[in-house]
Structure 1
Amino acid sequence: MTNADRAPARLNRFSDLRFQPRFAYPAMAEVVEVAGLADRSELAGGFARFRDADIPWQVGYDELILVISGTFAVETPQGPLEAGPMDTIWLPAGTEVRYVSEDALVFYSLQPASWATGAAA
């Protein structure tokens, strides 16, 4: 894929973003993607808000999480990873996790963006 095939560069203002419920736990997690398949990119990223969350998941992608505010924990088979503001958590594809937080805002980046479809970006 060439750069001409991708969406052009753009600015996403946080104040303009609209969070949507996510996972099977809509009261616990809301997300907004700022880049991904719609941009014809192999990389996806966005923001997520977690409130009173305890969400089991298996990541089907490599994921990097940056905590912006609050405390965010990821329980992994190797043990819990607890992060505060400006801390990051790295999760390799295939990791079984539980996302746990009373109240946190995080930025996530993942690859491949097409993980849910199984298609190449």
Structure 2
Amino acid sequence: MSVRLFRRSEVDFVPVDPSATPDGEYALARLIGVKQSSTLGGGLVKFDNCSIEWTLLYDEILVVLSGNFRLRYGEQLENSLDAGPGDVLWLPEKTHLAYEGEKAELFFAVYPGNWRTLNGFPEV
């Protein structure tokens, strides 16, 4: 594998479960997956007028690129952090959370990159 440049103008976002966000947007652009690396995954994600609840199966770093992003976390999602452009969040594996945003676009990196395979999910 060699060095690669991903131009923002050429990135395609794919809606993730549109039925879960009928009035909002949750879309993903996977840039680095298992075809490129088994140790690291990454890409871009959009959250707008939605709340996506999940328990992490990996370590994750988020960088807010635009918009307003809110992370709720804890067993009952009782804690929250608001972040804006330029802010960076680190989320350890097994964190229970909800991603929320208003026209938020973020860069994400996850470790391990092959977390789907390790947890019995099909690779996409």
Q: Structure 1 length as normaliser, TM-score?
A: 0.85
The alignment status of 1:14 with 2:8, answered yes or no, reads yes
Which amino acid counterpart does residue 76 of structure 1 have in structure 2?
Y
Q: Is the 8 A contact 1:76 1:97 kept in 2?
A: yes
Structure 2 counterparts to residues 1-121 of structure 1, below 5 A: 7-23=1-17, 25=20, 27-77=24-74, 79-118=79-118
Which amino acid counterpart does residue 8 of structure 1 have in structure 2?
S
| Structure 1: gaps (5+ residues) | 1-6
Identity %: 33
Which amino acid counterpart does residue 13 of structure 1 have in structure 2?
R
- Quote the Cα distance in structure 2 between the aligned partners of 1:108 and 1:40: 15
User: Which ranges of 4 or more aligned residues in structure 1 deviate by more than 4 Å?
Assistant: none
Specify the SS of the correspondent of 2:116. Answer: coil
| Structure 2: gaps (5+ residues) | 120-124
Q: Is the 8 A contact 1:35 1:41 kept in 2?
A: no
- Quote the Cα distance in structure 2 between the aligned partners of 1:43 and 1:64: 11
- Quote the Cα distance in structure 2 between the aligned partners of 1:22 and 1:111: 20
Specify the SS of the correspondent of 1:38. Answer: coil
Q: Is the 8 A contact 1:41 1:113 kept in 2?
A: yes
